[in-house]
Structure 1
Amino acid sequence: MSSGVEADIALDAAVILTLGMNRVLGRGAGLAGRGAEALAALAAGRAEARAAALAEVETHERALREVVERNARIAALAETRAKIGANAALPEPLRPEEHQTPEELAAWCAALDPVLDEAERALSEHLAAQVTAQIFTVPAAGLQADTGQRGPERGASPVPRVQDDVQGTLERIMTRLLPDAAEGERRAVADAARLLAGTGTAEEAEAVLQEVRLRIRDANRRTEERRERERRRAAERDAAEQAEAERRYVLDSITTAFEDMGYEVAPGFETLTADGGALVLTKGGWPEHSVKMRVDDAAHVRAAMVRETPAESEDDRRVDAEREREWCEAFEAARTRLAAAGIRSQVAWRLEPGVRELPVSERPRQTGGRAERRERRRERGR
Structure 2
Amino acid sequence: MSSGVEAEIVLDAAVVLTLGMNRVLGRGAGLAGRGADALAALAEGRAEARAAALAEVRSQERALREVVARNARIAALAETRAKLGADVPLPERLMPDERPAAELTAWCAATDPLLDEAERRLSEHLAAEVSAEIFDVPAEALRADVQQEASRADGDDGAVQSNLERIMGRLLPDASEEERRAVAAAARLLVGAGTPEEAEAVLQEVRLRIQDANGRTERRREDERRLAAERDAAEQAEAERRYVLDSITAAFEDMGYEVQAGFETLTADDGTVTLTKGAWPDHSVRMRVDDAAHVRASMVRERPAESEDDRRVDVEREEEWCAEFEAARARLRDVGISSEVAWRLDPGVRELPVSAGSRQTRARAGQRERGRERHK
Would the TM-score normalized by the shorter structure come out above 0.5? yes
- Corresponding residue SS for 1:360: coil
Equivalent-residue separation in structure 2 for 1:95 and 1:71 (angstroms): 9
The residue that corresponds to 2:310 in the other structure is 316
Equivalent-residue separation in structure 1 for 2:45 and 2:262 (angstroms): 37
- Corresponding residue SS for 2:356: coil
Equivalent-residue separation in structure 2 for 1:160 and 1:361 (angstroms): 93
Aligned letter for 1:207? A
Which of 316, 321, 328 aligns to 1:327? It is: 321
Equivalent-residue separation in structure 2 for 1:348 and 1:211 (angstroms): 64
1:333-362 CA-to-partner distances (Å, cap 9, x unmatched) read 000000000000000000111111111111
Alignment of 1:250-329 (within 5 A): 250-267=244-261, 275-329=269-323
1:253-275 CA-to-partner distances (Å, cap 9, x unmatched) read 00000000000111257x9xx95
- Corresponding residue SS for 1:363: helix
**1:3–1:305 contact (8 Å) kept in structure 2:** yes
Equivalent-residue separation in structure 2 for 1:186 and 1:138 (angstroms): 19
Equivalent-residue separation in structure 2 for 1:348 and 1:268 (angstroms): 28
- Corresponding residue SS for 2:79: helix
Equivalent-residue separation in structure 1 for 2:282 and 2:128 (angstroms): 79
Runs of 4+ in structure 1 deviating by more than 2 angstroms, as ranges, are none
**1:268–1:278 contact (8 Å) kept in structure 2:** no
Q: Structure 2-normalised TM-score?
A: 0.88
In the alignment, structure 2 segments of 5+ residues that lack a partner are 139-152, 360-376
The residue that corresponds to 1:82 in the other structure is 82
The residue that corresponds to 2:97 in the other structure is 97
Aligned letter for 1:90? L
Equivalent-residue separation in structure 2 for 1:360 and 1:201 (angstroms): 91
1:230-274 CA-to-partner distances (Å, cap 9, x unmatched) read 1111111111111000000000000000000000111257x9xx9
Aligned letter for 1:176? R
The residue that corresponds to 2:71 in the other structure is 71
The residue that corresponds to 2:107 in the other structure is 108
The residue that corresponds to 2:373 in the other structure is none
**1:17–1:57 contact (8 Å) kept in structure 2:** yes
The residue that corresponds to 1:128 in the other structure is 127
Evaluate the alpha carbon distance shift between residue 294 and residue 329 of structure 1 in structure 2; reply closer, same or farther with a 3 A threshold: same
Evaluate the alpha carbon distance shift between residue 170 and residue 95 of structure 1 in structure 2; reply closer, same or farther with a 3 A threshold: same
Aligned letter for 2:93? P
The residue that corresponds to 1:369 in the other structure is none
Verify: 1:40 aligned to 2:34, yes or no. no
Alignment of 1:183-198 (within 5 A): 183-198=177-192
Evaluate the alpha carbon distance shift between residue 364 and residue 85 of structure 1 in structure 2; reply closer, same or farther with a 3 A threshold: farther
**2:303–2:358 contact (8 Å) kept in structure 1:** no
**1:90–1:119 contact (8 Å) kept in structure 2:** yes
Which of 199, 203, 209 aligns to 1:209? It is: 203
Verify: 1:7 aligned to 2:1, yes or no. no
The residue that corresponds to 2:369 in the other structure is none
Equivalent-residue separation in structure 2 for 1:253 and 1:364 (angstroms): 28
159-168 vs 181-190, greater mean Cα deviation: 159-168
Equivalent-residue separation in structure 2 for 1:39 and 1:242 (angstroms): 19
1:189-212 CA-to-partner distances (Å, cap 9, x unmatched) read 000001111111111111100100
Deviation at 1:276, TM superposition (A): 2.0
The residue that corresponds to 1:380 in the other structure is none
Equivalent-residue separation in structure 1 for 2:4 and 2:137 (angstroms): 84
Aligned letter for 1:313? S
Q: Structure 1-normalised TM-score?
A: 0.87
Which of 343, 346, 349 aligns to 2:343? It is: 349
**1:81–1:88 contact (8 Å) kept in structure 2:** yes
39-48 vs 159-168, greater mean Cα deviation: 159-168
Equivalent-residue separation in structure 2 for 1:294 and 1:364 (angstroms): 19
Aligned letter for 1:131? V
In the alignment, structure 1 segments of 5+ residues that lack a partner are 140-158, 366-382
Which of 175, 178, 182 aligns to 1:181? It is: 175
**1:7–1:348 contact (8 Å) kept in structure 2:** yes
Aligned letter for 1:73? R
Equivalent-residue separation in structure 1 for 2:251 and 2:43 (angstroms): 16
The residue that corresponds to 1:142 in the other structure is none
Evaluate the alpha carbon distance shift between residue 364 and residue 310 of structure 1 in structure 2; reply closer, same or farther with a 3 A threshold: closer
Equivalent-residue separation in structure 2 for 1:240 and 1:275 (angstroms): 15
- For the aligned residue pairs, the C-alpha RMSD in angstroms reads 1.8
Equivalent-residue separation in structure 1 for 2:8 and 2:306 (angstroms): 35
- Corresponding residue SS for 2:131: helix
1:8-51 CA-to-partner distances (Å, cap 9, x unmatched) read 00000000000011011111111111111111111111100000
